[in-house]
Amino acid sequence: MKSNLTYRQPLELALEHSLNFIENLDYESVSATTTLNELRQRLHKELSDDGIEPARIIDELVKDVNGGLIGSAGGRFFGWVIGGSLPAALAADWLTSAWDQNSVLYVTSPAQSVIEEVCGEWLKDILKIPKTASFALVTGCQLAHVTCLASARNALLKKSQWDVESKGLNGAPKIHVLTTDERHGTIDRALRLLGFGTECIIELPEDSEGRMQTDLLIDTLNKIKGEPAIVLLKAGDLNIGAYDKFEEIIPAAHSFNAWVHVDGAFGLWVAANNNLSHLLKGVELADSWAADGHKWLNVPFDCGYAFVSDSKSHKAAMTHKASYITLADNARDQIDWTPEWSRRGRGVATYAAIRQLGRRGIAELVERCCMYVSELVSLIGKLDGAEIIWKPQINQGLVRFLDPSPNATESEHDRFTDEVIAEILKNGKAFFGGTTWRGIRCMRISVCNWQTNESHIETAHLAVKEALEKCKARKK
Ligand SMILES: *Cc1c(COP(=O)(O)O)cnc(C)c1O
């Protein structure tokens, strides 16, 4: 009984504090309201010799982080591409911690193994990935890239009679990576981590819609004369949500025996919506796909998904045998597919999120986010001194703000755009981030949260208007 009480008090406090945080998201500042110094002062406590009572730790923690949390879990957050948490997913995530299972093998947690097995099937169904593909639940798209590209490395080098898992890359045939200049930085990091190095990248210029150009790809593949190659495509790029022409470009890449990997961190989710799924036409032809759960599906951090068509290469790249691990005969051992060893039950929150929304709920979530971003971009575009740089095709749009000074230069517009963003953040009613796209400084507008509604859009519109007016007045 005593041990139950030990847990009850801090957990009940955590529930109260969590609800208090979530229920106030619509009213608190979306940006941080405290300083680095203040946070350090509060959190850098003296390391005590004796332990502290759990309830007090929880109370103090909540007090100490006050003003240092960003409202990215709420509906007025439009920066980067960050989703919130669906109620069922959040609750399931708490249970995951309470259950504290090591989700590495079937024997360390049979239920977790089956939950991930189900998540894999559901995700492939929703994202229209071939049923025969293998999969892994990882921490995010970053590790999904690593998992997929490790599989690619295994498969491509096997074709050259090179066993990369035992020989490594020293002395191995060179693998070229063909991609475009607007790729996400996680691609470069994955290539570094896997020992390819970033010098293996051949960067191809995009077309005006942000897509890889098939003729340039074919020319380049011809030039490398049959040497192993990976072609990296995008399903929803980070700035404008561009989609490559999968139907045309994947068969072209395959005719040179290249491996095709798709970064679909958030963009792969349009597969769930019949009005948008045409953007993905042909994507199922790829060899591997990376997506996130913690963005558009609104699963709490951290959660990403890797899918690989060649399951043998995937398993060969990840599996490990050790004397003390017992592999299951016909159940799923996660260690065969994931780069981690010990890991939390990462499937639980995904399982709950998919069940909460269902197919229709996911389709509606996708559509609603796209609708709101369109609305917000066009409202901002009508403000005097604002300019639309990219009209959203999915849930990403770009605007910028023009320095009102006579004969203002491009770099003055860039600076002015950053000033307006800073002013919005200072005010705390909405949150946006800056980005540089094709040399132009922009404010990126991303809608990814299941909670974002009409009133959040209206508040954000007014917040931008107010900040813009203030910055313009300063120039006079
Ligand atoms: C967010 C994002 C990533 C990185 O995903 P993480 O989950 O942060 O690792 C990769 N590619 C694109 C297009 C993204 O939007």
Tell me, rounded to whole angstroms, the distance of Cα 390 from its chain centroid.
Answer: 21
CB 153 within 8 A of CB 166: no
Region of 294 please: left (phi>0), alpha (psi -120 to 50) or beta: alpha
CB of 142 within 6 A of ligand 1: the answer is yes
H/E stretch holding 386 reads strand 386-390
CB 164 within 8 A of CB 400: no
CB 94 within 8 A of CB 48: no
* Cα-based distances in Å from 169 to 36, 165, 250: 43, 9, 26
Structural tokens at position 448 = 């990814």
CB 226 within 8 A of CB 182: no
Peptide bond into 50 cis (omega under 30): no
Q: Which atom of ligand 1 lies nearest, measured to the CA of 266?
A: 15
How far is it, in rounded angstroms, from Cα 206 to Cα 366? Answer: 26
Q: Can you give the pLDDT of all 476 residues of the chain as single tens digits?
A: 455 568 999 999 999 999 999 999 999 999 999 999 999 999 999 999 999 999 999 999 999 999 999 999 999 999 999 999 999 999 999 999 999 999 999 999 999 999 999 999 999 999 999 999 999 999 999 999 999 999 999 999 999 999 999 999 999 999 999 999 889 999 999 999 999 999 999 999 999 999 999 999 999 999 998 899 999 999 999 899 999 999 999 999 999 999 999 999 999 999 999 999 999 999 999 999 999 999 999 999 999 999 999 999 999 999 988 777 777 778 999 999 999 999 999 999 999 999 999 999 999 999 999 999 999 999 999 999 999 999 999 999 999 999 999 999 999 999 999 999 999 999 999 999 999 999 999 999 999 999 999 999 999 999 999 999 999 999 88
* Cα-based distances in Å from 459 to 28, 169, 427, 454, 455: 13, 53, 12, 9, 6
Distance 195 CA to ligand 1 centre (A): 20
Distance 142 CA to ligand 1 centre (A): 6
* Cα-based distances in Å from 457 to 94, 145, 397: 30, 33, 14
How far is it, in rounded angstroms, from Cα 220 to Cα 258? Answer: 12
Mutate which of 180, 184, 268 to test ligand 1's pocket (most atoms within 8 Å of Cβ)?
184
CB of 304 within 6 A of ligand 1: the answer is yes
- pTM, full prediction: 0.96
Distance 225 CA to ligand 1 centre (A): 32
- Give the largest CA-CA distance in the chain: 76
Mutate which of 138, 141, 148, 240 to test ligand 1's pocket (most atoms within 8 Å of Cβ)?
141
CB of 93 within 6 A of ligand 1: the answer is no
N- to C-terminal Cα separation, the chain: 70
Our CA angle for 382, 441, 380, nearest 5°, is: 15
CB atoms within 10 A of CB 474: 11
385: closest CA among 412, 352, 347, 348?
A: 412
Structural tokens at position 137 = 């639940």
Q: What is the DSSP letter of 278?
A: G
Distance 94 CA to ligand 1 centre (A): 24
CB of 13 within 6 A of ligand 1: the answer is no
CB of 238 within 6 A of ligand 1: the answer is yes
Mutate which of 180, 239, 263 to test ligand 1's pocket (most atoms within 8 Å of Cβ)?
263
Half-sphere exposure of 298 (CA within 13 A, CB side): 29
CB of 186 within 6 A of ligand 1: the answer is yes
